[in-house]
Structure 1
Amino acid sequence: MARKAGLLGPARQATLLETIVVIVALSIAGVGLIYPSPQPPTPVKLIGAPTGDVLQVPSLKVQAPLVSVKMSKDAQLDPPRNPRQVGYWSGSSAPGALTGQTLVTGHTVHTGGGALDKLGTVKVGQPVVIFRKYSGQVQRTKYRITSVKTYSKKQIATQAPTLFGQDRGKGRLLLITCTGWDGQEYHGNTLVTAKRLGTEVAALRA
């Protein structure tokens, strides 16, 4: 198949995802707030900002629509069906939050056309930006990439609490996609972490 890309792939990753669900269930509260802090950020002018939910990775020239994704009944977390979209896991912290970690996943398609095809080529220090729309306002949260790593499926499973636990991160962003295509399936994941720098809001144009 031209598109064979799930965040965690085979059913054998169910144990990992079940672990993540437990971690999140025990440690997250108040996710999904309009603003990530008790006091809303001071409104500013956001020139040229998207008017919807978008992930931008400038170094990759990626501007992908951002949608919410949930865990499936068989305990798997897959990217949106549209390979040009990315999904933020509704069980993780909301983009822009001051606590926990925001997990965003997108497709890598070995024939091209996936939103995160080139994720493994980003560099430490490069920016990532998330825009979200709320009730006539747009929120922009800026991040700076702090690490780019490749993990095998086994490593992802054994390090799940550290990688995805919501009791750590301080608003960290995690971008994850498949890697290691062997002609039939993907054998690993690229995981990019980014530090939250700050959030701004502005009114959308009438």
Structure 2
Amino acid sequence: MARSIPASVAVAGVSLRAAIQPVRTAEDGEIPLPDNPQQASWPDSSVTPGERGTAILAGHVDSTAGPAAFYNLSAVKPGMPVTVSRKDGSTAHFTIDAVAVYPKDDFPSSTVYGPTPGPSLRLITCTGWNADTREYHDNVVVYATPHTRPPSR
């Protein structure tokens, strides 16, 4: 697919749907999360979902107001469909291949963000809440690759 800014992402079966906010990657390489916890962020210097390479979408799992955009991300399973609506009116269709949990202090950046021979998508959020430190210690990463037709229902 040609480059087109992503507008929204959805995962059928887990009630995950979020508008996408383009963001600038921080100088240290970190992808900022969106200001609105009900949205996902996409680093605007990266490939767009459907283009050749690794597209990244990140979102909050929750906020002080309750569940956020990627709250149900840890419930997804391999084989589930992911759709990304794009600003040009097209839709990129993906299938979840794997779901992994990584400690934040040992995050495999080259595995998650590294190049791929074709289009691929990563969805990322936090998990592993620690009540003592009041922060998340892990990340959920969903790996998905394209399929050419939407799955039959």
TM over 0.5: yes
CA–CA distance in 2 between the matches of 1:102 and 1:74? Answer: 18
> Within 5 Å, which residues of 2 pair with 1:30-109?
33-34=3-4, 53-73=7-27, 75-97=29-51, 99-109=52-62
**Rounded Cα–Cα distance in structure 1 between residues aligned with 2:97 and 2:71:** 19
Q: Which amino acid aligns with 1:151?
A: Y
Deviation at 1:92, TM superposition (A): 2.2
Q: Which amino acid aligns with 2:144?
A: A
Q: Which runs of 5+ in 1 are unaligned?
A: 1-31, 36-51, 201-206
Asked if structure 1 preserves the Cα contact closer than 8 Å seen for 2:16 and 2:73, the reply is no
| CA drift at 1:169 | 5.0
Q: What is the distance in 1 between the residues matched to 2:99 and 2:38?
A: 21
Whole-Å Cα distance in 1 between the matches of residues 43 and 139 of structure 2?
16
Are 1:151 and 2:102 counterparts? yes
Taking structure 2 as the reference length, what is the TM-score of the superposition? 0.85
Greater shift in the superposed pair: 73-82 or 119-128: 73-82
- Please provide the CA RMSD for this pair: 2.2
Say whether the 8 Å CA contact 2:9–2:84 is kept in structure 1.
Answer: yes
Q: Which amino acid aligns with 1:187?
A: H
CA-CA distance at 1:67 after TM superposition: 1.8
Task: Please report the TM-score for the alignment, with normalisation by the length of structure 1.
Answer: 0.65
Residue 114 of structure 1, aligned match among 68, 82, 98: 68
Aligned length: 146
- CA deviation vs aligned residue, 1:30-82 (integer Å, no higher than 9, x gap): xx7249xxxxxxxxxxxxxxxx8111111221221112111124543221010
| d(CA) in 1 for partners of 2:14, 2:55 | 20
Query: Separation in 1 of the partners of 2:149 and 2:78?
Result: 20
Mapped to 2, the partners of 1:55 and 1:189 lie a distance apart of 19
Quick one: distance in 2 between partners of 1:34 and 1:119? Answer: 24
Whichever of the two has the greater Rg, that structure is 1
Kept in 2: contact 1:57–1:129 (CA 8 A): yes
Q: Which has the higher strand share?
A: 2
Decide whether the 8 Å contact of 2:15 with 2:72 is kept in 1. no
Q: 1:88 to 1:169 in 2, by over 3 A?
A: farther
User: For the residues of structure 2 that align with 1:73 and 1:162, how far apart are their CA atoms?
Assistant: 20
> SS of the counterpart of 2:87?
strand
Q: Is the 8 A contact 2:40 2:60 kept in 1?
A: yes
The equivalent residue for 1:164 is 113
- Partners of 1:61 and 1:154 lie apart in 2 by 29
- Larger RCO (CA within 8 A; separation ≥ 6): 1
Contact 1:139 1:199 in 2 (8 A): no
Structure 2 gaps of 5+ residues are none
What's the secondary structure of 2:70's corresponding residue? Answer: coil
1:186 and 1:85 mapped to 2: Cα distance?
A: 19
